[in-house]
Amino acid sequence: MNDKEFSEQIHKLKQVYGDRYYPDGRVRLIWSEFKHLGAKDFEAGIDKLILEKRQAPLIDEFRAVFAISGASGRQARIQQIKAANYCDLCGNTGVISFASKTYRCSCPLGEAGLLFSGMMPRWETTTEKTFNG
């Protein structure tokens, strides 16, 4: 999903529940957690929230709705990235192991962070520090 598609869905939420429930800070946090979803999955989840919730849904309700579509959406996104790009560095794993350490590849799959959890150092940044001193 791109920024425009996300903004359209947030606009729908604001129309139903009001702007005050979705200030910029909350919207940025929602974006950071759900940007990996496909636009159709996100739209379906927002529609479900609007239909089922009398009050403005907060993050725990978003997580509950997107738990199912998130898993299938994540798998679809991984396949989409793998089909469009092949990375010789990581072999389309998104992860590079070097000197008993693991790094996030700089390819689209590594940048999306869909195949691993937690913060992982980025390959280029880490290697520059290691080799340049």
pLDDT at 113: 66
Give me the residue spans of the domains in the chain. 3-84, 95-132
Q: 131 or 29: whose pLDDT is higher?
A: 29
Residue linked to tokens 């340049």: 132
Tell me the per-residue pLDDT of 17-59, one tens digit each, with 9 for 90 and over: 999 999 999 999 999 888 888 888 899 999 999 999 999 998 8
Alpha carbons 16 and 118: distance in angstroms, whole number: 34
Give dist(CA 5, CA 3) in Å, integer: 6
Backbone angles phi, psi at 80, to 5 degrees: -65, -45
As beta bridge partners, residue 122 has 104
Q: Give the rounded percent of residues in the chain with a pLDDT score beyond 70.
A: 64
How much is the average pLDDT of 55-80?
72
Residues with Cβ within 8 Å of residue 33, at least 6 apart in sequence? 59, 62, 63
What's this model's pTM, rounded to 2 decimal places? 0.52
Average pLDDT over residues 106-110: 70
